[in-house]
Amino acid sequence: MGELVVLRHGQTEWSRTGQHTGTTDLPLLDEGEEQARSLRPAMTAREFVEVRVSPLQRARRTAELAGLAATDVDRDLVEIDYGGYEGRTTAEISEELGREWSIWRDGTVGAEKPGESLADVGVRVDRVLDRVRERLADGDVALVAHGHVLRVLTARWLELEPQAGALFALPAGRYGVLGHEHGRPVLTGWALG
């Protein structure tokens, strides 16, 4: 049984400044490109039977620089739609609300234009997991995407609610490994790179 490698794109201007970057299609910074290149030895040491990438350029470029040839561009791997919180920091949102805000607890309900719920993101990543589970019988699968969506996916892999993604911080340009132990889904490596 193969492992599932979940790789977050390299640094962008907004990930560097802590701005929530959902569907805004930002390029990698030079630092992000270097992060992606530094992952090449770890990624090319594995034989992937499938590599699925988000359609956004920061994920596609990260895959390319890390030596991963995409076999599918998967719309379900796009980052959370933050609605009116797109491009804003947690501190800015908290100040506006007059209390500490968290995507994991509060979602985007308070935004002028509400975005996607964590439950909806959970449905999306469940579809991704359904698509890749049978491929894992043939070997490793890589998913190259974004921080919050990969954290929700990890929670769902572990049979947890989407909000449990709060437990799996994944810095830009890092990856995690999801596998099995005694027939159960487990986390076998995290924030590697």
Establish whether 47 is a catalytic residue: no
Establish whether 134 is a catalytic residue: no
Asked whether 108 and 36 are in contact (CB, 8 A), the reply is no
Which of 3, 9, 50, 86 is flagged as catalytic? 9
Asked whether 62 and 28 are in contact (CB, 8 A), the reply is yes
Which of 3, 33, 79, 116 is flagged as catalytic? 79
Cα–Cα distances in angstroms (integers) from residue 66 to residues 44, 142, 144, in the given order: 8, 11, 10
CA atoms of 111 and 78, how far apart (whole Å): 20
Q: For residue 88, give the amino acid letter.
A: R
Asked whether 108 and 50 are in contact (CB, 8 A), the reply is no
- Which residues are known to be catalytic? 9, 79
